[in-house]
Amino acid sequence: MDTLIVHVLTALLYASVLFLIAGGLSLIYGVMRIVNLAHGMLYAFGAYVSAWAVGMMVARWPVGLLFALLPLGAVAAAGLGAVLEPTLLRPFYRRAEEYQLLVTFGLLLILADLLRLLWGPYPLSASQLYEALGSLTIGDTIYPNYNLVVIAVGALAAFGMWAFVYKTQFGVMLRATSQNMRMAQALGINVNRIYIQAFTLGCFMAGIGGAIIVPSQGAVLDMGVDALIMAFVVVVIGGLGSLEGALVGALLVGVVRELGITFFPEVELAVLYLMAAVVLLIRPAGLFGRP
């Protein structure tokens, strides 16, 4: 029983981070119909900014205050998104999807080199925060308390996104724009403002994912590409453009990954890709996606 609890918590930990990345990716696509290949690098950018901020202040501030620096990564990713959308992406909305894929892939390469230029090739760490919260004992296993914080943040983000999209006036405008942009514009909705806010919010979610994971894993150059690949597995399963699909897909991937690591570690990634392939064969638009 104790082992089962640990496995469930580990699956929820991975699913929480995946939802933050994939949820932002699905939100951007659902509103703007852009597959943002640079999304993983915004996740990495949030991780690097948070790790850098904590490292700058670790010798000056008490550990408790350092936790207040983690959201800086999310704010930085959102600020970068607010600049990129009107300047780089907006001219490509009316062009074929191939142009959008090319420009976001180019942005991925630029951001990867920017991270290397700013912080060098070496990993950054904020492990002081991970160690400060200690751990709890579950049977014979010691489980870090910080992981419970990550799970709580993921749950709060899922609830907050649901409330924001379905229970606010802005959420109504957001859904109207995603369903029929021209009709929403004819009704007086400022579509350009909705686009920039949606893109900024999606980048903010990716930045949160990077910020909360950096105390336990650190910030490394390849983390953005790895996160993007797994986020696409999630949205393929759940349905690109669906927040509900991103949540369900993240939970499924988290559970299957934990089972794979436990029982079939040699084929862990193959099982995830196989699951995505089966979903594509049965429901090409994903579990919650629309054709």
Q: Write the DSSP symbol of residue 135.
A: E
The answer to whether the CB of 218 falls within 8 A of the CB of 125 is yes
What Å distances lie between residue 50 and 74, 76, 166, CA to CA? 8, 9, 30
pLDDT in the model for residue 291: 63
The CA-CA-CA angle for residues 234, 91, 111, to 5°, reads 55
Q: Dig out the tokens for 22 from the structure.
A: 């994939």
Query: Among residues 251, 184, 197, which one has the least CA distance to residue 22?
Result: 251
DSSP character for 124? B
- Tell me the pLDDT tens digit for each residue of 216-252: 988 998 899 989 999 999 999 998 888 888 999 999 9
User: What's the CA gap between 181 and 93, in Å, rounded?
Assistant: 12
Q: What is the pLDDT of residue 204?
A: 96
The whole-angstrom separation of Cα 224 and Cα 233 is: 14
Q: What is the pLDDT of residue 1?
A: 67
pTM comes to 0.93
Average pLDDT in the chain: 89
Helix (H) or strand (E) holding 142: strand 141-144
Q: Residue 290: pLDDT above 80?
A: no
CA distance 29 to 46: 20
- H or E stretch including 161? helix 145-166
Q: What is the pLDDT of residues 92-122, one digit of tens each?
A: 877 778 888 899 999 999 999 999 999 988 8
Q: How far is CA 59 from CA 62, 93, 104, 146, in A?
A: 8, 47, 38, 21
Question: What are the tens digits of pLDDT across the range 28-76?
Answer: 988 888 888 999 999 999 999 999 999 888 878 888 888 999 999 999 9
pLDDT tens-digit series, residues 129-188: 998 888 888 877 888 999 999 999 999 999 999 998 888 888 888 888 888 888 888 888
Residue 17 has pLDDT above 90, yes or no: yes
